[in-house]
Amino acid sequence: MSSFFIKKRVISAAVNKGDLKRKSNADDGKGRSKKFNKRADEEISSDSENERAEPNRKQPDNEDDEIEETPQEKKLRLAKLYLDQLREEEDKKAEEESFEADLIAGRLQDDLLEQKGKLQRLIAKDLIAPDPEEVRLLRGHKLSVTCLVITPDEKYIFSASKDCSIIKWEAESGKKVHRIAGGRKGTEEDHVGHTAHVLCMAISSDGKYLASGDMNKLIMIWDPETCKHVYKFTGHRGAVSGLAFRRGTHTLYSASHDRSIKVWSVDENAYVETLFGHQDMITGLDCLSRERCVTAGGRDRTVRVWKIAEESQLVFHGHEGSIDCVQLINEEHMVTGGDDGSISIWTVNKKKPVCTVKKAHGSHGNTGLEQPYWVSSVAALHNSDTVASGASGSHDSAVQLWKCGQGFRGLEPLFSIPVTGFVNSLKFSNSGKFLVAGVGQEHRLGRWWRIKEAKNGLYIIPLKRQVKEQEVVQ
C-alpha cells in the first residue's frame, strides 16, 4: 500500500502502455491487486479520468516527469482555494461594511446637525406647482375647519372644526374613516367629546395619542387607531389654542388664551407644571425633540422660546401686529405669520427676525388705504428649506410656498395654490409628498367676517418634483 502514496515515474514512451496496463491489472495470486486498483480508481484525480476518457490522446514525447497529486497535496490545494474564497468574501464584506459605515456616519452627521438646528435639506429648488385638477378637496365638516394633523405614517389625516367634530380621513383615497361627533353646549356631562369649537390638535410621534383642545378650556386625549376617548385634561382658565407633543415622548405642551403654557404627562394622565410670561392670549405653539417649546403671543407681538429644564424663556420682537401662527423649521429656526401680512424667519440666537417678507400675500383695499392680507397659518417641512403660508379673508386667498435661502437668511416665493376662504391650518407630511390645508368660511379664532363662497374642508396638495436629467429613461 505504501507504494501508492509515493510519486510514480512515468514510463518511457517506448514501452507499450497497453502491456503495462495489463501487467498492472494482473492478479498476484492472492486477489490483492484488483482490490487495490478498485480503491485507486475511487481516488483517482480528474486529470486521470480525462486520460481514461481519451485513451488515444498522444502524450508529449519530451515529458520526462509528470507529478501526480497526492492526497496531502490535494488537501493543501483545496485549503488554499478555500482561503482565497474566504479572503474574497471578507473583502466584499469589508466593502459593504464600509458603505454601511459611511451611510451610518452620514445619518449620525444629519442627526447632529438636526440637534444643533443647522440641518437644511435643499428640497425647494425641485418643487413645481401641481396641476389644479390634482388638488383634492375633502368635505365633511358643517363649519370652518380650524386645525388638522397628519399621522406619522402619512396614512390618515385628522381634522377638527367649529362644529365641534373631529374626522379621520384616509389620505390616499380621501375616504372618511371615522367621525367623532360634537355635542351641543350644555351636554358636557353626557357627551363624550367636544361641545365647543375645537381650536387645535396634536399627535404623538409614535402615533399612540391624539390630543385636541377647545374653547371650553378642555384638552381631550384620544386613541388615533380606534378614535376612542382616553383622558380629559382640565386646568386652563381660557380657550386652549395650541397643542404639541415633544417628539419621541408623550409629554404634551398646551397653550391658552389665559396666557399660560402647561406641561402634561399623557402616559401618567398627569399635570406637570405651568409657565407664565406672555402679556396677551397665546395664539400658537410648536415643539420638536428638545425639552422646549415656542409660542406666538398674539397682540403682545412677541415670540417666546421656553426652555423647560432651565426654567427660562427667550423673548423675540419683530412683527408690527398680532402674531397668530408659529412653526419650528428645525431646533434653532422658526417661521411666524401675523395680521400685519408679514412672514418672518427667526433664529434663537437673535432677538430680531433673520428675514421678513411684508405683504407676503399682497394687499387689498383702495389706493392709499390698502391693507395686507392676513397670514393666518404657516407650516414648515422640518429640517429643510421649504415653508408654506396661508392667507385669509378673500375670494382669491392662496397657499404660498417659499424657499428659504442659505442659512435661512431670505425667503423666495416658489408658487401658490388658489384657495377661497380662510386658510386656518397647514401641515406638511413627514416625507414632504403632500401638503394639507384646512379651510373655512371663518377665521379659526373669531367671526370677524364670513366668506359664503368658501368651502369648509381639506385641500390635499401634492408636492411634485421636477425629474432630473439623469432620472429620465431614454
Write down the pLDDT at residue 440.
94
| Domain boundaries of the chain, sorted by first residue | 69-116, 124-471
pLDDT tens sequence across 190-212:
888 999 999 999 999 999 999 99
Nine-digit cell string for 315: 423673548
Residue 327 makes CB contacts below 8 A (sequence gap 6+) with: 284, 286, 334, 335, 336, 378, 379, 380, 387
Say whether domain 124-471 belongs to CATH 2.130.10.10: yes
Angle at 213 (CA atoms; ends 336, 389), nearest 5 degrees: 25
Confidence of residue 79 (pLDDT cuts 50, 70, 90): confident
E strands of 323-373, at which residues? 323-328, 333-338, 343-347, 355-357, 363-364, 371-372
Q: What pLDDT, on the 0 to 100 scale, is given for residue 86? A: 87
With b for 16 or more beta-carbon neighbours within 10 A and e for fewer, the 193-227 pattern comes to: bbbbbbbbbbbbbeebbbbbbbbbbbbbbbebeeb
pLDDT single digits (tens) 209-252: 999 999 999 999 999 999 999 999 999 999 999 999 999 999 99
Which residue has better confidence, 8 or 71? 71
pLDDT band at 18 (very low <50, low <70, confident <90, very high): very low
Contact 257, 239 (CB under 8 A): yes
pLDDT in tens, 431-444: 999 999 999 999 88
Q: What is the mean pLDDT of the chain?
A: 83
Predicted confidence at residue 100, as pLDDT, reads 63
